[in-house]
Amino acid sequence: MAGHSKWKNIQHRKGKQDAIRGKLFTKISREIFNAARAGGGNPETNFRLRMALEKAREANMPSDNIQRTIDKALGNIPGVTYEELIYEGYGPGGVAVMVEALTDNRNRTAAEIRHIFSKRGGNLGETGCVSWMFERKGILTVNKEQSPVSEDELMLMALEAGASDFSADDDEYEITTTPEEFAAVQEALTKEGIKFEEATVTLIPQNTLELRGEEAQKMLLLYEALEEHDDVQAVYANFEIPDEELETY
């Protein structure tokens, strides 16, 4: 799971993940959109949407923002059609990069994503050039200190609910599922009083590349620039950067 957790750890160290309220709203909006798009706009029958809406309420996200996101996912906004696109390319050092975007103007977004890649030392590739290096999985993380049960108990509960893997590090437990079992596992553990720091279906690289020096710096700048683009929903890459390198960033 190093490929999944590495960038998350970078963000934590730099205080960037959810540090700005607008970024938190953006993250939650993406969860709401994906949940509504996949399972409909009724939280009573869509567990993923219900969990995303709870996060939105905890963050004091305006109800207008929430409803607009759901309407966007369901195609209920007159005159506007949003299209989900995936861009694939390479970053500095040959890092594989995948970008999930949501846009109402395919040509504009493609041009802007291509510009970001080229400006930051990467290049946009053809469809399929790097997607084979990633596997889609569900990831659920639990803070160790906040878990109401022991590690062994949580592992047993997760596996019985349908999880495919369970791991632990110094601070948290990580539960892995197939995309198909994600909602069922999340719901089963929630009913047992488990609260998640993160619950998402994501792309995990099958192997990673270690970057140092200038290549590491350039890759971080590319990643951030892609994440900050308004149309980008998520960015995935197969790089790792040693802790000592991060101290210079």
Q: What domains does the chain contain, in order, with CATH numbers?
A: 2-74 (1.10.10.200), 83-132+207-246 (3.30.70.980), 134-205 (3.30.70.980)
The answer to whether residue 103 scores a pLDDT higher than 50 is: yes
- Confidence category of residue 21, pLDDT binned at 50, 70, 90: low
The answer to whether residue 33 scores a pLDDT higher than 80 is: yes
Closest CA to 211 of 240, 247, 243, 238: 240
Give the orientation angle of helix 182-191 with respect to helix 47-58, to 10 degrees.
Answer: 60
* H-type alpha helices, the chain: 2-14, 21-39, 47-58, 63-74, 106-119, 151-161, 182-191, 213-228, 243-246
Residue that wins the pLDDT comparison between 16 and 54? 54
The answer to whether residue 111 scores a pLDDT higher than 50 is: yes
- Confidence category of residue 3, pLDDT binned at 50, 70, 90: very low
Q: How far is CA 204 from CA 67, 100, 139, in A?
A: 30, 14, 10
The predicted pLDDT at position 80 comes to 75
The predicted pLDDT at position 114 comes to 97
Other beta carbons within 10 Å of 60: 9
Helix (H) or strand (E) holding 100: strand 96-103
**What's the pTM?**
0.79
- Confidence category of residue 13, pLDDT binned at 50, 70, 90: very low
Closest CA to 235 of 77, 154, 122, 148: 122
- Confidence category of residue 201, pLDDT binned at 50, 70, 90: confident
The answer to whether residue 12 scores a pLDDT higher than 50 is: no
pLDDT digits (tens, 9 = 90+) for 126-180: 999 999 999 999 999 999 999 999 999 999 999 999 999 999 988 899 999 999 9
Spatial separation of the C-alpha atoms in residues 33 and 14, rounded to whole Å: 27
Mean pLDDT, residues 240-246: 81
pLDDT digits (tens, 9 = 90+) for 75-91: 888 777 778 899 999 99
The predicted pLDDT at position 76 comes to 86
Other beta carbons within 10 Å of 219: 23
Residue 176 backbone dihedrals phi, psi, to 5 degrees: -110, 140
